[in-house]
Amino acid sequence: MIGLLATLAFTVPLIGGLILFRLDERKADVVMLASFITAMLLQLGVAVIYLLDHEELIHIAYLKSTQFGEVYGIIIDPMSVLIGTVVAVAGFIFMFYGVEYMSERNVGHPGGKGRGLFYAWMTLFEGATLGFIYSSTFLGLLIFFELMGLACWGVVSFYNTPAGRRAGFKAFIIPNVGAMIGFYTAIYIGLTQLHDLSLFSLPKVSPEVKPWLFLALLIAGYTKSAQFPTYSWIPDAMEAPTPASAFLHGAAMVEMGVYLVARVIQFIGPLPVWIFYFMAVMVSLTLLIPILNYPVQKDAKRLLAYSTVAEAGIMFVGLTYAVLGLTGKAPGFDVGLKAAMFQLTTHAFVKGLAFLTAGTFTYSLGTLDLRQISGLRKLLPVNGLAWTVALLGLAGLPPMGIAFSKAELLTNLSLVRVSALAWLPILMVLADSAVFLWVGLKWITRNVFGRPKAVRAPTHPIITASLVTLIVLTLVSAYLAYPLVEEITFYGVIP
């Protein structure tokens, strides 16, 4: 039963997305919302059944071959259930908001006709992301990875401007290069050496090959998550409609690079310590990029884009310490794996809140220029509250949920005393939070409490309801997620 529900959760939006390519306007609204609601209800059903039955891991192999072993299957475990639920719930909220955002009432981007194509890409995006989360083989991961990339191209280039077309091409090519390096390497090894494409075969990779396979898959994760040096595609992808930006940054594309590496870490078993040092250096360089860019950003979405680079980097900090647990230097250090998935969960809702609020600047005021936005406290009070909660939340202040996921990185710090370098990622996380808090307070003071520059600004109950829902989830997501987070662990051999 649970396997059927999980499979339908990603199959329904994939079918709905294909249908939407032929629809527009009201019919498209209905089919899109029906697809997202159905996926969310199915995924919530998976979560309820899993929590009630409390099985550690459910593995269903749908397609096997004598020569290639498992070709396609699904894994239902604490990590896939948690992240799948986050994607399904956040995706529905973003696209419920999107029905109004894509309307003709949007001051900055009047919509109406043509939105069926946007819905089609977004619904496929949802299905591909959920399919990726549950996949148990590298072939399945590759297929859904590429579908996500195709959908990302479709939504980023949706407005068909020169900048949008360039950004869409870039958003497709960079992660695709990473996919070729990582997944083609894994599939080649699976076909020629292991005769099995399953994640469960990873511990069988020879010790000489395993570090290089992990490095190849790490590159795939880095490109998908906009990490150094491949981060530049994510600020450019702000050409997408805002609901797509929220999904891309908060619950899908970027986070799936982190999820991929987390999945590999769960299964791969012992790794040499130089992998840990490599990841520590790379994530520290990644966090330096947004720290330098926050103060000079004037566009709301580009500010949030650099924040996404940093927040994904913080997830990779957790995975860096999880790798330390696979080197034998800090046995059983699965707290890093838990912290990464905890961060992914809490970040989804606060980043979604931030992007949807930025979208209301376009919808109500016709601009994303933060210098032109002032007096939200009087002009759009709910929007002003949402912007305040989002920026303070991204900086890591309690009681927002992301404060607790960042705090989990600081637990058991005695385990990182393998060298002075092991402290660098933690120091960079603290520096990023401090700089973003400084910049966030500056813009809150100006945008929310400054003198209004307009007499009135239009809004809509759908937008207000979406923002209020995300404010609540931003505050409670950590408490809801923690039981599943604590069950996430390694499946491979631990040194």
Classify residue 22: in a domain, yes or no. Answer: yes
- In a domain? residue 213: yes
pLDDT of residue 410: 76
Q: Is residue 133 part of a domain?
A: yes
248 belongs to a structural domain: yes
Q: What is the pLDDT of residue 53?
A: 85
Identify any residues that bridge with 76 across adjacent strands, giving them in sequence order. 58
Tell me what pLDDT residue 22 has: 95
SS3 453: coil
Cis (ω within 30 of 0) for the bond into 399?
yes
Low-confidence ranges of the chain (pLDDT < 50): none
Fill in the amino acid letter for 99. Answer: V
Nearest to 27 by CA among 111, 128, 99: 99
**The predicted structure's pLDDT at residue 287:** 97
Structural domains in the chain (count): 1
**Three-class DSSP category at 60:** strand
Domain holding 276, by residue range, is 2-485
Is residue 236 in some structural domain?
yes
- Six-digit token pair at 338? 């838990």
Are the beta carbons of 310 and 432 closer than 8 angstroms? yes
Tokens of 55: 């099985």
Its pTM stands at 0.96
Q: Give domain status of residue 492, yes or no.
A: no
Let me know if residue 494 belongs to a domain: no
pLDDT of residue 55: 77
Residues 442-494: tens digit of each pLDDT: 999 999 999 988 778 889 999 999 999 999 999 999 999 999 999 998 887 66
- Compute the distance between CA of residue 41 and CA of residue 89 in angstroms, rounded to an integer: 9
Specify which residues 74 forms β-bridges with: 60, 135
**Under a CB-based contact definition with an 8 Å cutoff, are residues 467 and 383 in contact?**
yes
Q: Could you read off the pLDDT of 207-265 as tens digits, one per residue?
A: 999 999 999 999 999 999 999 999 999 999 999 999 999 999 988 889 999 999 999 99
Query: For position 413, what pLDDT does the model report?
Result: 64
Report if residue 351 sits inside a domain.
yes
